[in-house]
Structure 1
Amino acid sequence: MTEQEFNSIVVDIDYYNHRICTPSWIIEERVNRFVDLTYVVAGKAEYTIDGVCHTVRAGDLICVQKGCRESAVAVPDDLMDCYSINAYIYDLAGREMKLPFRTVSHIGVRQDIIALYQELNAAWLVRDPGYMAKARAIFMLILQRYYQLICHSGYQRSYDKRIKKVLQHVIDHYFEPLTVAEMAQMVNLSPLYFGNFFKQETGQTFRQYLTLIRLNQAESMLNSGMYKVKEVAVECGFSDIYYFSKVFKEHFGVNPSEVLKSPKPHGISS
């Protein structure tokens, strides 16, 4: 699945449950009419999916696609605690899609994901007006986190607090002439140490990250059809329109003017 395809996902939740298994818990063999997504936070269980047996444990994500044959039983001396969602997955045109996850993926017990499930659990049980829309939104956040962990395993989101401060500052002030020296001073580090530390944490130099944020904002502005190329360059912190056009094409594969001429959002991605 491409990044663009994943970004087109639409979800419809059929069933949700925070399941704490009993010794007699069982899923009778069935052919799923939905995608069954289960995140194990403690204990074990024995799943059989399309004839293949899996012993799942804490930190495992089980993804049983629609049409697969599934059954499961508890492990009585180590009962499973899990979050389970049965859902339908579509693209923007309403066509059914498969999630890009293996049957069993070990992602670890992650507090950020558990916090999202707890929020989903509250929405599902309290049922305030509009709760289904909220539940779908939270499920989308959960899927996005799974996508990062499974399909982009090198991606890091938990940065040092000093780097987090700089990243947020860049997002808020990308249009300003930001420098390594200024960012280093902001977090009380030497420019040389900061530069190495930033790359170690993010995998990019500070200049690369700043340029990425500026280019993504530029793409959004061009897609709106409300700005000229020169206006976009200036608003996004590029003082040289020719340099802007060069790096934009290197990153997106098209010239800024081509995005302007497109009758609808270009849908380009890095």
Structure 2
Amino acid sequence: MPSRLGLTRWLLRLRCTPDAAGAIASALARRPDVSWVTLASGGTEIYCALNARNADERDAHLLQQLSRTRHVRSVSAHCMMRIFVGDTSTRHASRFRTGRAPCVADSGSRRAPLPLDDTDRTLFAELARDGRATLPELAVATGRSPSGIQRRLQRLSSEGALMFAVDFDPRLLGDHMSTRLWLRVAPAHLRTVGEALVTHPEIPFAAAVTGTSNLVASGIFRDPYDLYEYIDQRVGPLPGVQDIETAPTLREVKRVAPATSFGAWGAWGA
């Protein structure tokens, strides 16, 4: 989880001119601190998840770079206060392979950032490059023994700093409609609704966020009728749900990336 690495995750919602949205989305996708990027709403709206270590990094994005990027008409930033399901927008494996809902990624309890040393950072960088790297390969990259690397991986995993996910295109299994759901939920029911979404196999990701819509989720559906049935029968009846906005995804520009970055900051390139 980003919080275990001292990071705060932000969901950015950008509205761009139609001729530039693709180029801006591609530029965002090249950044290691941006974990996923999608195009929605007729190709003029971009969603992306950004990890920031401190207020300076956050402000560098929001106040200096994005606001000055040509063809960006508006930017809204939503801090992810609690991630109920998953840590990416594309965690489908448990839905299709086991028939169970994805695991809860955030217990809601406050935990201090986990201290990392140079070996830990190297491990994250190597696994981000190739999640199937073997213990001997990781040992060579870090200058440690394979047994020592295995103990580190177990520690990072048990502490919630390292997670492995299987990702694939849901269209291969007949799901052709990915949709972002923005929910406005009464504060007294926010936790209840978020935890209810954990039980829905259609939802690989959900988080409580700042802003008018205080809960955002990613949904995977077979077709528009499947989406309608889900809203009508699964989400609409939940207590406290006051409003639902849907934004079908046109294209996933970037699907999965590491939750942290230890490199230098670059230019937007658009």
**TM-score normalised to the size of structure 1?**
0.26
The structure with higher relative contact order (CA 8 Å, sep 6+) is 2
With normalisation by structure 2, the TM-score equals 0.26
> Which structure has more strand as a fraction of its residues?
2
Higher-Rg structure is 1
